[in-house]
A and B are shown apart, each in its own frame.
Chain A
Amino acid sequence: MNRNPQLNAHGELQHLITLEGLSREILQGILDTAEPFAEVAEREVKKVPLLRGKSVFNLFFENSTRTRTTFEIAAKRLSADVINLNINTSSASKGESLLDTVDNLAAMQADMFVVRHASSGAPYLIAQHLAATGREHIHVVNAGDGRHAHPTQGLLDMYTIRHYKKDFTRLTVAVVGDVLHSRVARSQIHALRTLGVPEIRVIAPRTLLPSGVADMGVRVFQDMKEGLKGVDVVMMLRLQNERMQGALLPSPQEYFKYYGLTPDKLRLAKPDAIVMHPGPMNRGIEIDSAVADGSHSVILPQVTFGIAVRMAVMSMLAGS
């Protein structure tokens, strides 16, 4: 197999496509770098000049206003010029191919592509294409590809856990919900393993778990009450609307009853457990409002940390 395509010849991050295969040193380095960026947000001028004169293209082949906005803010706080492109790729409106789009934007002197795509692996394709055409200086940041990875979300989740729990090596962490379709869950699991979390649990009905999930180094629970016992961190996943009724789940009501995070179920976790969610939340489906807005919730700090983590990633890549 080829060398990990997101690392350059010196083993430094060239692109950020997945957390899988990145060393503990690299992950910790990103989290460490994010710390001073968190401080920048508290200044009068919330901006540093690192990426002055650089062009960051937010290339969103799948709509996500929230993720796009966080990348936009991060890039702007680094003084980059940000260009947002929402490209509809519904199969009905097939036009220019993905790589043609990339070639065109590269010709506009792009320095970085932040890519969101509905297909797993699309950012790899772009990175490989850039390498094959001698344009390695353009960096690719994966802002979520299909079910594959959402590395900056995984990193901001790790930043949040470290912020509240300090030491990864004594934690029990539960990931709850639609693991099957979740790029967030995959990135979380890879990062938690690499950072030394001794027990990672996934909690979901069988229809929302990939068949190979146990091979990812997690303990699988179908019973949420069993799975939440004694955990330090509860990471909820978003349940997409289209999965709520049909052959995966009978109804949102039944899902909430058995897999929604309620104060009752949360009481089974450690008293100082934190509750996380990548957003946007479906209140009353995967999470009770009393938990989402409760004292255990760190959901809003996650958003704040997300900006600092993305600033760290972008500044580390653009300077590599």
Chain B
Amino acid sequence: MKIHIRNGHVIDPANGIDRAADVFIAKGKIVGVTGGNPRGDGAAPPGFEANATIDATGCIVCPGLVDLSARLREPGFEYRATLESEMAAAAAGGVTSLACPPDTDPTLDEPGLVEMLKHRARLPEFAHVYPVGALTINLEGKRLTEMAELAEAGCIAFGQANTPVLDTQVLMRAMQYAATFGFSVWLQAQDPYLAKNGVAHDGEISARLGLAGIPVVAETIALATILHLARETGVRLHLTRISSADGIEMVAAARATGIDVTCDVAVHHLHLCDQDIGFFNPHARLDPPLRAAADRDALRAGLASGAINALCSDHTPVDDDAKQTPFDEAEPGATGLELLLPLTLKWAAEMQLPLATALARVTIDPARILGIGGGTLSAGAAADVCVFDPQAPARISRETLKSQGKNTPFLGQELKGRVRCTLIEGHLAYDGAFA
């Protein structure tokens, strides 16, 4: 199969391409990007005869999105989502690679489970799935998992999802062991004692609404512990879902002292803050909590400057029964695969960022954290491509969302930016032209 994507505007941040150009694909790989400059005219490489063309007039053509956190809910939570529903959501959202956290049921702590997941996910229209293995058995923070075996089965990093390791000795040993094999450790920084019973950012809003608060120090205390252990063990550290201005500063300071650390932020946290809880909207119950407006602004600026390395959807489908409850009983999380692109564009527009910079945070930058070759349109790379119309309205509704999780604070809103089509290794995984 040879595909010619014509008349689009290609943005490939990894290769510094940001111009009108054509993309040529053969055998599931990128053959080349030509045109749009004085030398090229969009002509096909020698000997290339397309079997299919995609007209990308008015559209941006970019590498498929790489999402550092998408819960597929398999195994264990199939009533919330299935691989089929969430892979359809990924493709509709232009996401072609995703990392899934280990908090499934059972947790991803045995090679057999990881192999099963990889096996289930191998269909051509499915995004590439990169499991994050459990750092400790059953995420209990007591015994180490067989990391090397899990890596052979397909895990690209090891983490705890949102469950902290209480015993710092275990945490240090887990980091030492991961460092032995050169594995990355992904951790979310939240002190469980300071966050105990908390459901919202500790501040004016939680005080007013009478919601138990999670103070910013819950993040910074945990960060201090994790960063010190990272320095001690030399492990490659990735911090997931930074939520506060203080947190960003600590990570930047640690990086400046030579600690090998990256971090990401969830897309909701770029746009929302604790005020958006409104009248106890359970969709605004997230983990980590939506923080103050000043924190949100720091996250927006930090992601723009690169202090925060990547942006992810933190896709967490939750069934209605677990959301239609009082705020503090609601299960945290929001659906995100189909909102990642429009919310990235919204952030870029509001920050007046070049589109290439914004798209880097959801393509090449997360791909580097994952340590995979994706996130580019380099010749020879897998033909994972997203074609989207940046101006087309995207209505977020229960009907339009393909994900089984309809839980999002943006429900009922109209955003800008709609995926026209998604290619995964040259396979048309989503065709929105007829949708």
Given contacts A121-B279, A121-B280, contact A98 B206 (CB under 8 A): no
CB distance from A217 to the nearest CB of B (A): 11
**Chain B residues closer than 8 Å to A148, beta-carbon distance:** 209-211
Given contacts A212-B204, A215-B207, contact A120 B328 (CB under 8 A): yes
Are B203 and A125 closer than 8 Å at their CB atoms? no
B205 within 8 A of A: yes
- Total residue contacts A-B, CB cutoff 8 A: 81
A146 within 8 A of B: yes
Question: CA of A231 to CA of B326 in the docked complex: distance in angstroms?
Answer: 38
Which residues of A170-228 have CB atoms within 8 Å of chain B's CB atoms? 183, 186, 210-213, 215-216
Are B326 and A186 closer than 8 Å at their CB atoms? no
CB distance from A278 to the nearest CB of B (A): 15
B47 within 8 A of A: no
Are A120 and B280 closer than 8 Å at their CB atoms? yes
Are B278 and A211 closer than 8 Å at their CB atoms? no
Are B208 and A212 closer than 8 Å at their CB atoms? yes
A2 within 8 A of B: yes
CB distance from B126 to the nearest CB of A (A): 34
A1 within 8 A of B: yes
Are B210 and A183 closer than 8 Å at their CB atoms? yes
Cβ 8 A contact of B206, one of A145, A149, A212: A212
Annotate A93-125 by CB proximity to B: 1 below 8 A, 0 otherwise.
000011100000000000000000101111011
**Chain A residues closer than 8 Å to B213, beta-carbon distance:** 210-211
Given contacts A125-B280, A146-B210, contact A97 B328 (CB under 8 A): no
Which residues of A59-111 have CB atoms within 8 Å of chain B's CB atoms? 97-99
**Chain A residues closer than 8 Å to B350, beta-carbon distance:** none
Annotate B201-240 by CB proximity to A: 1 below 8 A, 0 otherwise.
0111111111111010000000000000000000000000
Question: CA of A211 to CA of B208 in the docked complex: distance in angstroms?
Answer: 10
Are A98 and B204 closer than 8 Å at their CB atoms? no
**Chain B residues closer than 8 Å to A120, beta-carbon distance:** 209-211, 280, 326-328
Instruction: Bin chain B's interface residue count.
Output: 20 to 34
Question: CA of A76 to CA of B215 in the docked complex: distance in angstroms?
Answer: 45
Are A212 and B203 closer than 8 Å at their CB atoms? yes
Question: CA of A98 to CA of B272 in the docked complex: distance in angstroms?
Answer: 28
B324 within 8 A of A: yes
A139 within 8 A of B: no
CB distance from B315 to the nearest CB of A (A): 25
Question: CA of A211 to CA of B204 in the docked complex: distance in angstroms?
Answer: 7
Question: CA of A220 to CA of B244 in the docked complex: distance in angstroms?
Answer: 27
**Chain A residues closer than 8 Å to B391, beta-carbon distance:** none
Select from chain A the residue with minimum beta-carbon distance to B193.
Answer: A247
Which residues of B271-290 have CB atoms within 8 Å of chain A's CB atoms? 278-280, 282
Are B210 and A125 closer than 8 Å at their CB atoms? no
CB distance from B216 to the nearest CB of A (A): 10
Given contacts A98-B325, A99-B324, A121-B279, contact A211 B215 (CB under 8 A): yes
A20 within 8 A of B: yes
Question: CA of A213 to CA of B203 in the docked complex: distance in angstroms?
Answer: 8
Select from chain B the residue with minimum beta-carbon distance to A20.
Answer: B208
B431 within 8 A of A: no
Cβ 8 A contact of A215, one of B204, B279, B280: B204
**Chain B residues closer than 8 Å to A98, beta-carbon distance:** 325-326
Given contacts A212-B204, A215-B204, contact A125 B326 (CB under 8 A): yes
B49 within 8 A of A: no
A5 within 8 A of B: yes
Cβ 8 A contact of A149, one of B203, B210, B278, B325: B210
Cβ 8 A contact of A97, one of B205, B208, B278, B325: B325
Are B279 and A5 closer than 8 Å at their CB atoms? yes
A147 within 8 A of B: yes
Are A216 and B328 closer than 8 Å at their CB atoms? no
Are A119 and B208 closer than 8 Å at their CB atoms? no
Given contacts A2-B278, A97-B321, A210-B213, contact A121 B207 (CB under 8 A): no
Given contacts A147-B211, A148-B210, A215-B204, contact A119 B278 (CB under 8 A): no
Query: Which one of A119, A129, A215 has the highest number of Cβ atoms from chain B below 10 Å of its Cβ?
Result: A119
**Chain A residues closer than 8 Å to B282, beta-carbon distance:** 125
Select from chain B the residue with minimum beta-carbon distance to A183.
Answer: B210
**Chain B residues closer than 8 Å to A117, beta-carbon distance:** 326
Are A186 and B278 closer than 8 Å at their CB atoms? no
B329 within 8 A of A: yes
**Chain A residues closer than 8 Å to B203, beta-carbon distance:** 211-212
**Chain A residues closer than 8 Å to B280, beta-carbon distance:** 120-121, 124-125
CB distance from B330 to the nearest CB of A (A): 9
Question: CA of A124 to CA of B204 in the docked complex: distance in angstroms?
Answer: 20
Select from chain B the residue with minimum beta-carbon distance to A185.
Answer: B210
Select from chain A the residue with minimum beta-carbon distance to B216.
Answer: A211
Question: CA of A128 to CA of B283 in the docked complex: distance in angstroms?
Answer: 14
Given contacts A2-B278, A119-B327, A125-B326, contact A210 B206 (CB under 8 A): yes
**Chain B residues closer than 8 Å to A215, beta-carbon distance:** 204, 207-208
- Using CB atoms and an 8 Å cutoff, list the residues of chain B in contact with chain A: 202-213, 215, 278-280, 282, 321, 324-329
- Using CB atoms and an 8 Å cutoff, list the residues of chain A in contact with chain B: 1-2, 5, 20, 97-99, 117, 119-122, 124-125, 128-129, 145-149, 183, 186, 210-213, 215-216
- Lowest 10 CB-CB distances: which A-B pairs, in order? A121-B280, A147-B210, A212-B207, A119-B326, A148-B210, A210-B207, A212-B204, A215-B204, A120-B210, A122-B326
